[in-house]
């Protein structure tokens, strides 16, 4: 069931506002507050059109600066596993959701090796290079998310997997998209000797054979959870 129009939303871990923009354009909310601990991410979001349509705040998911029961819907896109103290983060999302309100989120399935940058990790392992472990990998599973929400006291918990196909015009576009400078895997790749980095690129390229038009496609998976704040 889709969220009803006129709801008060909180986007936890909004980054540059991509999910915030989706909420504003799709669900006709009464208001949207978007929170992220990164001042740089919030500063960038405020330069975009969505910066004038939502209330962006620098805030930590572990100590949300909002009153109890302030929102009808609390959502978190691709962030829950990265919260350092995830039980505390889940408790905060419950606290700021109204009684009977919805709390939901989704994360890439890092535990199953199905995140978008998984081809990089597989290539690094083939070459014997160490792959940084993603924070909160265990809580990226359906079981991990469900257990986290159960311990936080949520009700009517529902989960699902979301299988997606990622597509890029060519290998260079894929490589650029999956090696942002802030990513720990990217930092590990950049720390490799030049010859090893070149071997890695060719190993990953060989694992992603292009279509006739040169495009690259492969599968990834996210795990999603939705629950109700207790009344």
* The total number of structural domains that make up the chain: 1
| Domain contains 102 | yes
- Among 131, 125, 13, which Cα is nearest to 80's? 13
| Domain contains 128 | yes
pLDDT at 231: 83
What is the residue whose two structure tokens read 């890029």? 168
Q: What is the pLDDT of residues 72-122, one digit of tens each?
A: 999 999 999 999 999 999 999 999 999 999 999 999 999 999 999 999 999
| Domain contains 49 | no
Block means of pLDDT (10 residues each) for the chain, 231 residues, are 92 97 97 97 97 98 98 98 98 98 98 97 96 95 98 98 98 97 94 97 97 97 98 83
pLDDT at 62: 98
Do the beta carbons of residue 35 and residue 11 sit within 8 Å?
yes
Range of the structural domain that residue 159 is part of: 60-228
| Domain contains 130 | yes
pLDDT at 9: 98
| Domain contains 169 | yes
| Domain contains 175 | yes
pLDDT at 48: 97
pLDDT at 2: 82
Tell me which long-range contacts 178-186 makes (C-beta under 8 A, separation of at least 24).
Answer: 178/116, 178/117, 178/119, 178/120, 179/117, 179/120, 183/117, 184/132, 184/134, 185/117, 185/120, 185/121, 185/124, 185/131, 185/132
| Domain contains 45 | no
pLDDT at 68: 98
| Domain contains 38 | no
**CATH number of the domain encompassing residue 209:** 3.40.50.150
């Amino acid at each position: 069931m889709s969220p009803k129009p006129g709801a008060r939303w909180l986007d936890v871990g909004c980054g540059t506002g991509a999910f915030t923009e989706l909420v504003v354009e799709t669900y006709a909310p009464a208001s949207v507050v978007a929170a992220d601990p990164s001042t740089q991410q919030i500063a960038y979001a405020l330069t975009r059109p969505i910066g004038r349509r939502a209330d962006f705040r620098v805030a930590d998911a572990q100590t949300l600066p909002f009153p109890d029961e302030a929102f009808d819907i609390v959502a978190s896109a691709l962030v829950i596993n990265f919260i350092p103290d995830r039980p505390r983060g889940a408790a905060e999302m419950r606290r700021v959701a109204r009684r009977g309100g919805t709390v939901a989120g989704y994360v890439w399935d890092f535990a199953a090796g199905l995140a978008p940058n998984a081809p990089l990790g597989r290539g690094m392992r083939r070459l014997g290079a160490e792959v940084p472990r993603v924070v909160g990998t265990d809580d990226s599973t359906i079981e991990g998310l469900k257990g986290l929400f159960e311990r936080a006291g949520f009700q009517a918990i529902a989960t699902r997997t979301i299988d997606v196909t990622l597509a890029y015009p060519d290998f260079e576009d894929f490589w650029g998209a999956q090696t942002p400078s802030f990513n720990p895997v990217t930092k590990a790749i950049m720390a490799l000797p030049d010859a090893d980095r070149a071997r890695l690129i060719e190993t990953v390229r060989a694992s992603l054979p292009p279509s006739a038009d040169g495009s690259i496609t492969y599968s990834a998976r996210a795990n999603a959870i939705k629950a109700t704040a207790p009344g």
